[in-house]
């Protein structure tokens, strides 16, 4: 959860549910109490009147007559707030809480009229799909840049682990026209998270595709604007794309040999199968797709060797070779 989203969630929770301790807020939002303390300070600096009662029964609270002051938000922050509200309204954490839903409506109603067109455009191009998938969330370092290009209709070049566009596997530079963002919700016990997908027209394969934002290795925003295809409907496209993903993206069980130095860098859903005398380990990692497997293994660098499946080992080898060739050519050109 991004900081802005967390600040909004804290404000909504305090307004809807009354007095809450830092420990309870931290547990709900999945962060440390120290993070909550910093967030409360940030809210105070933004002139949101969070108060605190000490002792038994104490906690943070907002005045009963508090309403959102929209003047403290920029246009881009307003879009983030509304999308966060849309997302929160579909999570089980907020489900069935009428007071919290009323707070969500107040949040949007407080935004100035000049923001409404931008908010409307964001809702048309950024979907929140919380159909539960049993998968792991991934970081989204380019999300804010991509969201801006979607709303501004700007072309972008992305370095992406592609298996189809150019007929070869591995990282490829692709020119794409971004049409929309989709947040695909994941369901876990005691947590609600998700994955961001970029829906874009790919110039190489001359068709629309889904690109996982977390798998984008590098990104360059182009000067050219996209040529909008007026008959494209993001919601209709995603209904079909989701069916395809659910049918064709099966989880992959990776078997890796990890060096002693690389053990501390393991993450995600993994199981240690065997420990070797030199300190290395054999692990099984449950991963959701070939693209994610490639990103996972390359992220571990020379500390990881793929034992199986064979197709992942070959894809990693081809990508590593392509990276080595690229750097060799660059060095020779200097």
Q: Which residue has the higher pLDDT, 301 or 290?
A: 301
pLDDT mean over 234-251: 78
Give the model's pLDDT for residue 17.
74
- SS3 of 33-65: HHHHHHHHHHHHHCCCCCEEECCCCCEEECCCC
What does the pLDDT look like over 29-55, one tens digit per residue?
778 888 999 888 888 877 778 888 877
Task: State whether residue 308 is helix, strand or coil.
Answer: strand
What does the pLDDT look like over 96-114, one tens digit per residue?
445 555 555 555 555 666 6
pLDDT surpasses 70 at 163: no
CA triple 68-71-76, angle to 5 deg: 100
Sign of CA dihedral 250, 255, 260, 262: negative
Alpha-carbon distance of 123 to 159, in angstroms, equals 27
Q: Which residue has the higher pLDDT, 301 or 331?
A: 301
Domains of the chain: which residue ranges? 3-111, 131-248, 252-333
Q: What is the CATH number assigned to the segment(s) 252-333?
A: 3.30.70
Give the model's pLDDT for residue 255.
93
pLDDT confidence of 172, banded at 50, 70, 90? confident
- When the candidates are 2.30.30, 1.10.3470, 2.60.40, 1.20.1300, the CATH number that belongs to 131-248 is 2.30.30
Of 58, 80, 1, nearest in space to 35 by CA: 1
pLDDT surpasses 90 at 221: yes
Give the model's pLDDT for residue 45.
75
pLDDT surpasses 50 at 93: no
Contact indicator for 300, 316 with CB cutoff of 8 Å: no
The pair phi, psi for residue 203, each rounded to 5°, is -70, -30
Give the model's pLDDT for residue 84.
57
Give the model's pLDDT for residue 286.
83
What does the pLDDT look like over 73-92, one tens digit per residue?
566 656 665 665 555 444 44
Sign of CA dihedral 160, 161, 167, 168: positive
Give the model's pLDDT for residue 190.
37
CA distances from residue 290 to 24, 164, 251, 316 in whole angstroms, order as listed = 38, 12, 9, 10
Question: At the topology level of CATH, where does 3-111 sit?
Answer: Arc Repressor Mutant, subunit A (1.10.10)
Tell me, yes or no, if the two domains 3-111 and 252-333 fold the same way: no
Cis previous bond, 147, omega within 30 = no
Q: pTM of the predicted model, to two decimals?
A: 0.45
**Mean pLDDT rounded to a whole number for the chain:** 76
């Amino acid at each position: 959860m991004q900081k802005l989203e967390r600040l909004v969630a804290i404000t909504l929770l305090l307004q809807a549910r009354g007095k809450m301790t830092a420990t309870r807020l931290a547990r709900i939002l999945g962060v440390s109490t120290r993070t909550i303390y910093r967030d409360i300070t940030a809210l105070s600096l933004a002139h949101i009147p969070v108060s605190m009662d000490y002792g038994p029964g104490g906690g943070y609270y907002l005045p009963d007559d508090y309403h959102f002051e929209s003047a403290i938000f920029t246009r881009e922050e307003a879009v983030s707030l509304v999308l966060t509200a849309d997302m929160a309204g579909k999570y089980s954490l907020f489900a069935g809480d009428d007071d919290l839903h009323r707070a969500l409506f107040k949040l949007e109603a407080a935004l100035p009229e000049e923001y409404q067109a931008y908010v409307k455009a964001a809702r048309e191009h950024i979907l929140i799909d919380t159909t539960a998938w049993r998968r792991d969330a991934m970081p989204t370092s380019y999300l804010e840049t991509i969201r801006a290009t979607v709303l501004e209709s700007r072309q972008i070049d992305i370095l992406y682990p592609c298996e189809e566009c150019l007929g070869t596997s591995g990282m490829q530079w692709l020119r794409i026209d971004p049409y929309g963002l989709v947040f695909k919700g994941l369901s876990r016990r005691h947590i609600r998270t998700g994955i961001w997908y970029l829906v874009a027209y790919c110039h190489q394969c001359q068709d629309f595709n889904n690109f996982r934002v977390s798998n984008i290795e590098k990104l360059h925003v182009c000067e050219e604007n996209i040529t909008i295809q007026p008959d494209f409907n993001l919601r209709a496209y995603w209904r079909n794309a989701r069916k395809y993903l659910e049918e064709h993206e099966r989880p992959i069980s990776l078997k890796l040999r990890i060096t002693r130095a690389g053990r501390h860098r393991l993450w995600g859903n993994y199981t240690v199968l065997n420990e070797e005398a030199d300190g290395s380990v054999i692990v099984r990692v449950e991963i959701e797709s070939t693209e994610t497997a490639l990103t996972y293994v390359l992220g571990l660098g020379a500390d990881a060797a793929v034992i199986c499946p064979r197709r992942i080992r070959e894809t990693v080898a081809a990508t590593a070779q392509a990276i080595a060739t690229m750097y060799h050519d660059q060095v020779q050109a200097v």
